[in-house]
């Protein structure tokens, strides 16, 4: 793996992040390799999610422009990429927050539960919950204190990231918040404890946005754009709500905004995370009025709108945007100058020739691809 100056890196940059559907934790080495091959200076991470890719790029020496439609991604990016003060400064805030006295509030009411018979998860409303009451009470107290302290933006981003990472370590879920476990997970019995996040203190200032990438990409001045959109679901029977980031992680939005929104359903989701409001066209599995898949049209507009001369596109073979349709879009918009295929199962990472050969295994196996496109 090479860095910005062409030096060989002996190991992958370390990153930190929440459990997240589609996070590219295992692909970081491959992404850095393919990005480095065109020697960019400014790299746009258009679907930053956990910001793990942005964190790796920043550590490799690139100036990063991170964007995601989800508010939690902005908080993470500002924390990991742009928190510039001494780490001891942030540690004092985190140490203080760990000492606040637990209290019962909005989060406890909706997301806290007691241990019922046989370890069952039960809230006061009889529903399953993601956090045990002692931790939900702590969440209430810490979240109120973060607002009461009147922190500066960087301090608040660090405190909120630390709170979310801490909550994840004691949750009772399968990694998303659309349903909770019947019986409390072993980790939910632990005490919520905040730690200072793994902040990357690079000399550069990175840019962070919270917008729709299709709209934003035309105004981003970058040498390369890395795109990792959601790609919808391949399963016709799966309701769209099951694959939507806004619904999977609704609780992080509430922790960040502390806005006590109206909720619905057994998982007490925010109303604005419902299918009719919170979706993205990249998460659509339906066809539009033109007869083409909505997600395919979105990818096409994304690539056409992008100003950066190089695009690295992540694609996983289970996605709705079929390999064939993707091939057509890429071919119409420039030259694919590299194609990497990654199989986690077989632990294989290989460069492939840009021929239609890739189409054969893309339809069948669960593989990850990285396309490097030079825009035409």
Ligand X SMILES: C[S@@+](CC[C@H](N)C(=O)[O-])C[C@H]1O[C@@H](n2cnc3c(N)ncnc32)[C@H](O)[C@@H]1O
The answer to whether residue 69 forms part of the interface with ligand X (CB under 6 A) is yes
Q: Could you give the CA distance from residue 139 to residue 111 in angstroms, rounded to a whole number?
A: 10
> Is 270:263 a contact under the CB 8 Å cutoff?
yes
The answer to whether residue 20 forms part of the interface with ligand X (CB under 6 A) is yes
The answer to whether residue 212 forms part of the interface with ligand X (CB under 6 A) is yes
> Of 36 and 135, which CB lies nearer to ligand X in the complex structure?
36
Give the strand order in the sheet containing 112-115. Answer: 121-123, 112-115, 131-132
The answer to whether residue 340 forms part of the interface with ligand X (CB under 6 A) is no
Q: Could you give the CA distance from residue 89 to residue 83 in angstroms, rounded to a whole number?
A: 11
The residue from 80, 177, 245, 252 that contacts ligand X (CB under 6 A) is: 245
Q: Could you give the CA distance from residue 149 to residue 175 in angstroms, rounded to a whole number?
A: 31
How many residues touch ligand X (CB under 6 A)?
Answer: 22
> Of 129 and 176, which CB lies nearer to ligand X in the complex structure?
176
The residue from 228, 297, 300, 338 that contacts ligand X (CB under 6 A) is: 228
The residue from 34, 66, 70, 373 that contacts ligand X (CB under 6 A) is: 70
Binding track over 23-62 against ligand X, x by CB under 6 A:
xx----------------------x-xx-xx---------
Least Cβ distance, residue 374 to ligand X (angstroms)? 22
> Of 139 and 298, which CB lies nearer to ligand X in the complex structure?
298
The answer to whether residue 233 forms part of the interface with ligand X (CB under 6 A) is no
Place of tokens 């630390």: 162
The answer to whether residue 306 forms part of the interface with ligand X (CB under 6 A) is no
The residue from 3, 19, 22, 223 that contacts ligand X (CB under 6 A) is: 22
**Helix ranges, 232-350 (H):** 245-248, 250-257, 275-278, 294-305, 323-332
Q: Could you give the CA distance from residue 353 to residue 304 in angstroms, rounded to a whole number?
A: 23
Least Cβ distance, residue 229 to ligand X (angstroms)? 6
Q: Could you give the CA distance from residue 241 to residue 234 in angstroms, rounded to a whole number?
A: 14
The answer to whether residue 311 forms part of the interface with ligand X (CB under 6 A) is no
Beta partners for 114? 122
Per-position b or e across 158-192, b if 16+ CB within 10 A of its CB: bbbbbbbbbbbebbbbeebbbebbeebbeebeeeb
In terms of C-beta density within 10 A (0-12 exposed, 13-18 middle, 19 or more buried), how is residue 326 classed? buried
Interface with ligand X by CB under 6 A: which range of 64-72, 98-106, 174-182, 288-296?
Answer: 64-72
Least Cβ distance, residue 76 to ligand X (angstroms)? 9
Q: Could you give the CA distance from residue 280 to residue 75 in angstroms, rounded to a whole number?
A: 20
Q: Could you give the CA distance from residue 376 to residue 368 in angstroms, rounded to a whole number?
A: 24
The residue from 1, 42, 68, 158 that contacts ligand X (CB under 6 A) is: 68
> Of 171 and 228, which CB lies nearer to ligand X in the complex structure?
228
Distance of CA 186 to the CA centre of its chain: 25
Binding track over 258-287 against ligand X, x by CB under 6 A:
----------------------x-x-----
Q: Enumerate binding residues for ligand X (CB under 6 A).
A: 20, 22-24, 47, 49-50, 52-53, 68-70, 73, 212-214, 228-230, 245, 280, 282
């Amino acid at each position: 793996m090479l860095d910005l100056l062409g030096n060989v890196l002996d190991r992958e940059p370390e990153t930190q992040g929440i459990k997240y559907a589609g996070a590219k934790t295992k692909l970081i080495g491959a992404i850095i390799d393919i990005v480095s091959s065109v020697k960019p200076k400014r790299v746009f991470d258009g679907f930053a999610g956990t910001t793990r890719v942005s964190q790796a790029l920043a550590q490799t020496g690139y100036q990063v422009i991170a964007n995601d439609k989800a508010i939690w991604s902005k908080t993470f990016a500002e924390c990991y990429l742009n928190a510039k003060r001494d780490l001891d400064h942030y540690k004092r805030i985190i140490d203080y927050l760990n000492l606040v006295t637990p209290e019962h509030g909005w989060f406890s009411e909706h997301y806290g539960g007691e241990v019922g018979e046989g370890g069952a998860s039960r809230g006061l409303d009889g529903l399953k919950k993601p956090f045990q009451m002692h931790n939900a009470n702590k969440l209430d107290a810490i979240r109120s204190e973060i607002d009461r302290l009147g922190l500066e933006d960087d301090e608040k981003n660090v405190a909120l990231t630390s709170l979310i990472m801490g909550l994840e370590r004691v949750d009772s879920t399968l990694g998303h918040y659309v349903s909770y476990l019947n019986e409390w997970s072993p980790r939910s019995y632990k005490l919520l404890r905040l730690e200072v996040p793994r902040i990357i203190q690079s000399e550069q200032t990175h840019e962070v946005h919270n917008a729709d990438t299709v709209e934003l990409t035309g105004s981003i001045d970058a040498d390369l754009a890395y795109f990792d959109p959601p790609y919808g679901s391949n399963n016709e029977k799966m309701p769209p709500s099951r694959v939507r980031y806004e619904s999977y992680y609704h609780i992080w939005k509430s922790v960040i905004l502390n806005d006590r929104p109206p909720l619905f359903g057994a998982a007490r989701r925010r109303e604005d995370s419902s299918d009719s409001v919170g979706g993205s066209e990249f998460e659509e599995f339906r066809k539009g009025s033109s007869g083409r898949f909505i997600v395919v049209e979105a990818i096409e507009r994304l690539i056409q709108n992008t100003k950066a001369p190089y695009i690295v596109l992540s694609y996983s073979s289970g996605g709705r945007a079929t390999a064939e349709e993707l091939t057509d879009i890429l071919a119409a918009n420039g030259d694919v100058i590299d194609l990497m295929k990654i199989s986690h199962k077989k632990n294989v990472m290989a460069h492939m020739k840009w021929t239609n050969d890739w189409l054969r295994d893309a339809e069948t196996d669960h593989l990850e691809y990285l396309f490097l496109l030079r825009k035409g």
